[in-house]
Amino acid sequence: MTSLLNFMERFRVTKLAVMATVVVSILSTTSFAQTNGARSQMTTASAATDSATAGKAHDDSFVIGDDDVLAISVWKEPDVSRTIPVRSDGKISLPLAGEVQAAGLTPKQLEVAIAVKLASFISQPDVTVIVSEIRSQKFNILGQVTRPGSYPLTNSMTVLDAIALAGGFRDFAKQKSIYVLRQNSGGETRLPFDYKDVIKGKKTEQNVKLQARDTIVVP
């Protein structure tokens, strides 16, 4: 009888040990899966961030202008990397590279220009240029409007949009004699704008999309 009791006791202890081992194994597997899942999500998020940053850094649709602020990074060269504005002469100054023309170039083109300048001092320089602040894309509106001045230029902004942004006309504005002064390689072009006709659906081609450095004059 005693032997039977001892056997049953050993069987119960063995059974409990097996169950404990199974529980520990399940918990370990679950923890491993959760950890791997979290790591996978972090990796995916990091890749998405890197992709977005790379896209912005190599944007060929934007042309750098005066007063734009550039974040310039040279791989493993913290003394050369910095955030600087483009001067009024269109240039920037960097250690080792010296004076570099920035205005009129895209970020990718400026990367190449800086790398060429640094090649005499750094082996295979890896340069990244990001426009951290856009200050060059502006237009002016002068004359008989409520708030004349210089305004940031947004995508697809027209003459009508600009007039609304400036608070509309003053009492004695000559609404049929408005014009836009546009800078070009040959000097300056004058584009007429008849407000009264445009808002009636006539001469809608006069409601042009504004460009950087356009000046709207409201007599």
pLDDT above 50 (res 31): no
Question: Considering the chain, what is the average pLDDT of its residues?
Answer: 81
CA distance 117 to 125: 9
Q: Does residue 31 share a domain with residue 103?
A: no
Amino acid 11: pLDDT:
46
177 lies in some domain: yes
Q: Tell which of 31, 56, 81 closes a domain.
A: 56
> Each residue of 166-205: pLDDT tens digit?
999 999 999 999 999 998 877 899 999 999 999 999 999 9
Residue range(s) defining the domain that contains residue 40: 1-56
pTM of the model: 0.55
Verify that 50 and 15 share a domain, yes or no: yes
- Per the domain annotation, does 128 fall within a domain? yes
Examine the domain organization and report whether 147 and 126 are in the same domain. Answer: no
Enter the tokens of residue 36: 């791997």
Sign of dihedral through CA atoms 207, 208, 212, 213?
A: negative
61 domain-assigned: no
In total, how many domains does the chain have? 3
Residue-wise pLDDT for 69-84, tens only, equals 999 999 999 999 999 9
What are the pLDDT digits (tens) for 148-161?
A: 999 989 878 999 99
Q: What are the tens digits of pLDDT across the range 57-114?
A: 455 778 899 999 999 999 999 999 999 999 999 999 999 999 999 999 999 999 999 9
Pair (1, 23) in one structural domain: yes
Do 77 and 20 share a domain, yes or no? no
| Same structural domain, 212 and 154 | yes
Any idea what the CATH number is for the domain that residue 110 is in? Answer: 3.30.1950.10
Render 104-165 in DSSP notation, one character per residue: TS-HHHHHHHHHHHHTTTSSS--EEEEEEE--S-EEEEEESBSS-EEEEPPTT-BHHHHHHH
